[in-house]
A and B are shown apart, each in its own frame.
Chain A
Amino acid sequence: MSDPTTLTTDHAVQVASATPPAPRRPRRLSDRGLAVAFISPALLLLLGMSVFPLLWALYLSFTDYSATRGGQAHFIWFENYTAILTSAQVHLRALTTLIYVVGAVTLQTVLGFAIAYLISRRTHGRGLLTTLFLVPMMLSPVVVGLFWRFMFDAQFGVINSMLGSLGLGQVEWLTQQRTALMSLIVVDTWQWTPFIMLIALAGLTAVPKYLYEAASIDRASEWFRFRTITLPLVWPLLLIAVLFRAIEAFRLFDLVYILTSGGPGVSTETLSFHVYKVAFLGFNTGTASAYGILMVLVVMVLTQLYLRYLNKLKED
């Protein structure tokens, strides 16, 4: 469905060949019924699988409930919340997560957009290039994590092996405080740069040709064309992509679990990883629920702010 005009002709043919339709029923009633019938199943599933569990977690977050110890849950109201918000351990994980999110998303946005821009300027092999670049994004985080762990291995890993043949020293990628977090960022960037690229490319290829043609008749400079035509059209899309990535990065768990399991020490433990430890190592279900609710709140507020900003941008 690339070109709306062809759609219209198709449609015209279809209508022309269609058999005389049945008599119309009252439109309003059927619309209302349709909307309800079409929307409610999806909403019901979400209510059952997302809202209900979340409310349950909300209830548990005010208690000292433990999933294994069982027994009655005692209301302790905001004790869990105050404990979490004042815990130095939590602050440490929040900082780690922040560095990770900002680092990874910035890197992949810059890279992703650059690749998309370069691809969009090619006339040949665009499809093939795009497909090749998309491969990392399609892989499971498990596969990605395991494989990078293998490549990062200080002794047998191919990365140190290549550094070695270049005469450079070996790097302890996953076991030094700074490099471990950096490695996480690198891997996430490797996997998700294609996502930004895909969306940016969609924006870039959709910039109507005639705009460029008009600009090139006017002999506008490349940079000027980029700044005045390309960027404004792609910008909103890019921001959506960034939002998605930021939220996904904020809840990162699987890469940490496989690549470093939070190490060295706890220096790559993200908030999600910490929640997991609270929830499944000590089975402090109440605390973990409160922790989770706080994370959801952060995500919701960020999403809301972002959407608002996006809407404003669209209106301008």
Chain B
Amino acid sequence: MRYPKPVGRLSVPGGKVQLATAAILVATTVAACGGGDTQASAPKAPATIPELTKDPLTLSFIWFDWPPAHALEAFANAEYAKERPNVTIKVNTVPNANWHDAMFTQFAAHRTDFDIPILDSQHIGEAVTNGNILDITDFVKKNIDVKAYNPYLLAAYGQFPQAETGKRDENASMYGLPLLGDTWTMIYRKDLIGDKPPQTWDQMISVAEKCQADHPGVSGLAFHQANGSDAAAVTYNTVNGIYGGNLWDSKTRKIDGVLNDTAGHEAMDVLVNKMKPLTAKGSGNWFIDEVNAAVAQGKACIAFNWIAASGGLLDPKQSTLGTTREQILDKLGFATLPSQKTNLVPLGGMGMHVSAYSSKANQAEALNFMKWFEQADIQKKWAAAGGVPARTDALQSPEFLNAGPFNQVYADSVPRMRDMWNVPEYARLVDIENTNVNAALNGAKKPKDALDDIAKEQQSVLDSGSRKGGGGL
């Protein structure tokens, strides 16, 4: 049933071929230009803060969406405005899973809608190597009282290159200052396992085992196992550290043979064969919020989570453990991690950095904000507002220690921290570790194979500098 159509001889002018040729030419030219205008290392920030503007100005941060981000925005707008009434603080938030991508796609675009990116400590290498954030070494020397900090915290959130556990190198360049300190806390049910937290990792496992057997419906353990962000990787790294393993040899850039040595394999065995059986069914994709939910619903004897993410546990609206904060605290205890061969704990938290692509006025304001933020009294106020400060005096202050039941845990954990590799290839390394640990935890890979695969694949990423093509596969 077709209708006849009027026929005329028509064609679209220009012709596809010509247009295509033109497009290729333009594409090649633009791409070639696009490649040429980047610098290889981080630009320097001035040592002294330039004159600040009196015009209204919005100072923007970027972070992932969690309570500390909202706390920071509220705190900074309330307090910083007292000194700089023309400045509004805005904390842009993105989904956690999208955090690295959101920052680095904007860095790649050479145009950022934020002035202060809040980078995970391991992101610094990538940002510095690409020239995305300012070198603030001179600024720090002139404006920040470095003696007021535990040197390791300054190193972790600002220094590059940075040794994984080492002391701060006074001569190394600085690219950031601490914003929020963090580590894992052990959350345990006082009403189920008693007031005294287990002291060693093995002890912790047997306590959890007994608790699970004694209380049907409650699982022994809850911890991060997801394959997104750095969830499963941090879990393995923590156990690895506690059982005396190493992530790599930073001097020789060797992972294969270091990560998967005897201690490394023992750690993987403990994690998969001793800890995983004590977790809830289907917990293989749990991260921060699922662990919190399990605790709040009374479904876990012992749980591990980031301190900065634990505040919600005390909210009676989200919890079935009690109708008031006090009732919940009668049941929940917070402790530093048990130790085994070592007492290492994972370093979390983030630093503040200055985007290389912000306007001069905003960069000046960002530096001023950082100087303001790192003062002793402001750090104490930040602690009272729910933040975790980095200055030693603030960490020891009653404002901080009384603000939450887990804050003492943080103060005690500071000397025990260990970070991951701080290299430009971080995102790839952590993805390899995440997916393989997650596979081992969920029975998709044998633990031994998973660890060997991690070591082999990570090594090939570190060694890929000389290889041509196929990077990132």
Contact = CB atoms under 8 A, between A and B. Distances in A.
Contacts of B27: 52, 55-56, 59
Contacts of B468: 64, 76, 79
A282 B284 CA distance: 25
A51 interface: yes
Contacts of A76: 468-469
A281 B428 contact: yes
A261 B97 contact: yes
Interface stretch (B82-90, B104-112, B187-195, B369-377): B104-112
A82 B431 contact: no
B96 to A, nearest CB: 11
Given A28-B8, A175-B442, A177-B444, A264 B473 contact: no
A155 B435 contact: no
Contacts of A66: 471
B4 interface: no
B13 A36 contact: yes
Given A51-B20, A70-B35, A263-B226, A82 B469 contact: yes
A69 B10 contact: no
Contacts of B471: 64, 66, 282, 284, 286-287
A283 interface: yes
Contacts of A281: 100-101, 427-428, 431, 472
A72 B284 CA distance: 42
A302 interface: no
A226 B472 CA distance: 53
Interface in A117-138: none
B10 A31 contact: yes
Contacts of A71: 35, 38, 40
Contact of B469 (A172, A176, A286): A286
Nearest to B14: A40
A76 B438 CA distance: 35
B129 A266 contact: no
Contact of B20 (A55, A64, A80, A286): A55
A14 B8 CA distance: 27
Contacts of B461: 282
A126 to B, nearest CB: 25
B242 interface: no
Contacts of B472: 277-279, 281-284, 287-288
A176 B431 CA distance: 19
Contacts of A283: 104, 108, 472
A83 interface: yes
B444 A265 contact: yes
Contact of A280 (B14, B31, B101): B101
A154 B280 contact: yes
Contact of A265 (B14, B32, B104, B436): B436
A89 B469 contact: no
B354 to A, nearest CB: 17
Interface residues of B, number: 68
Nearest to A30: B8
A219 to B, nearest CB: 29
Nearest to A269: B435
A68 interface: yes
A100 interface: no
A176 B40 contact: no
B8 to A, nearest CB: 5
Interface residues of A, number: 69
Given A175-B282, A281-B428, A87 B226 contact: no
B44 interface: no
B130 A70 contact: yes
A36 B281 contact: no
B289 to A, nearest CB: 11
Interface string B1-44: 00000101010111000011001101110111001111110000
A193 interface: no
Interface string A47-75: 10001100110011000111111111100
A264 B284 contact: yes
Interface in B363-422: none
A76 B467 CA distance: 11
B352 interface: no
B295 to A, nearest CB: 12
B299 A80 contact: no
Most chain-A CB neighbours within 10 Å: which of B39, B299, B431, B470? B470
A5 B297 CA distance: 66
A153 interface: yes
Contacts of B38: 69-71
A72 B19 CA distance: 27
B293 interface: yes
A174 interface: yes
B161 interface: no
Most chain-B CB neighbours within 10 Å: which of A153, A160, A264, A283? A264
A56 to B, nearest CB: 4
A102 interface: no
Contact of B442 (A170, A265, A279): A265
Contact of A73 (B6, B32, B226, B280): B32
Given A263-B435, A282-B428, A39 B282 contact: no
A32 B394 CA distance: 78
A195 to B, nearest CB: 26
A64 B464 CA distance: 12
B129 A175 contact: no
Given A82-B470, A263-B435, A264-B438, 13 more contacts: A35-B10, A40-B14, A52-B26, A56-B30, A71-B40, A83-B469, A84-B473, A172-B282, A173-B282, A177-B442, A261-B227, A264-B444, A267-B439
22 contacts: A36-B13, A40-B12, A60-B31, A69-B130, A72-B35, A82-B469, A155-B281, A174-B282, A174-B285, A176-B284, A261-B227, A263-B226, A263-B285, A264-B443, A265-B227, A279-B472, A281-B101, A282-B425, A283-B472, A286-B469, A287-B471, A287-B473
Interface of B: 6, 8, 10, 12-14, 19-20, 23-24, 26-28, 30-32, 35-40, 97, 100-101, 104-105, 107-108, 126, 129-132, 226-228, 280-285, 293-294, 297, 299, 425, 427-428, 431, 435-436, 438-445, 461, 468-473
- Going nearest first, the 3 A-B pairs with the smallest beta carbon separation are A154-B282, A83-B470, A265-B439
Interface of A: 28, 31-32, 35-36, 39-40, 43, 47, 51-52, 55-56, 59-60, 64-73, 76, 78-84, 87, 89-90, 153-156, 160, 170-177, 257, 260-267, 277-284, 286-288
